[in-house]
Amino acid sequence: MQEDSLENQDPRAVRSRTALRSALLQLLEEKALEQITVRDIVARAGIGYTTFFRHHPTKEALLEDIAAEQISALFQLSMPVMDARDVRSGAIALLSYVEQHRSIWSTLLTGGAASFIREEFLRQARAVADVRGQSDNLMPPDLGVILIVSSTLELIVWWLRQENPYSIERIAELLDCTVIRPVIEAGNRKGGQ
């Protein structure tokens, strides 16, 4: 829901939006989105029921706002990786962002919103692939984008679930060697029809 610029600057509105986001993320650590009600969110946030609807029409809209911000940031880091000459540095930048926002990404990818996040990420990936268009290479651009995004998300989920997680550099190396380079190489090979 779009809010006018005066409301965006109102400290009470900012506090309410922050409390709602935090409450939903906490609840998603405990249960699936389908099990969470608006009343659960406002109770956890410590705000009034009607206040919720000043900011978001539904709990899904609140999740979309949280997810859109995080996916956009991650997407801006992950898509250049596909075109980069220094793929490893791009992967390190992407993974460093996830590490800096680990609690949010752990909740989004391994909590009750995981399927929603995956679908939104793939939706954005397909939009990028549509802009890239098709080629006569072995790997169609849309398939390359989908493979890189899907595999990157799976690797991040695995990494976030580890009790003793590998270093960012080690995960970047795995991402580079097992996902990104093979897809890029297939994308650069000419394919037969």
In this structure, which topology does domain 63-188 adopt according to CATH? Tetracycline Repressor; domain 2 (1.10.357)
pLDDT digits (tens, 9 = 90+) for 140-153: 777 887 888 889 88
Span 155-161, average pLDDT = 93
pLDDT tens track for 32-88: 888 999 999 999 999 999 999 999 999 989 988 888 788 777 777 766 655 556 778
From CA 82, how far away is CA 150, in angstroms rounded? 13
Structure token pair of residue 178: 């097992």
Topology, domain 5-57? Arc Repressor Mutant, subunit A (1.10.10)
For the chain, where do the domains classified as CATH 1.10.10 start and end?
5-57
**Listed residue (43, 92, 85, 166) closest to 51, CA to CA:** 43
Q: What is the dihedral of CA 52, 12, 108, 58, to 10 degrees?
A: 20
pTM comes to: 0.71
Q: pLDDT per residue over 94-116, tens digit each?
A: 899 889 888 788 888 877 677 77
Helix axes 114-132, 141-161, angle to 10 degrees: 150
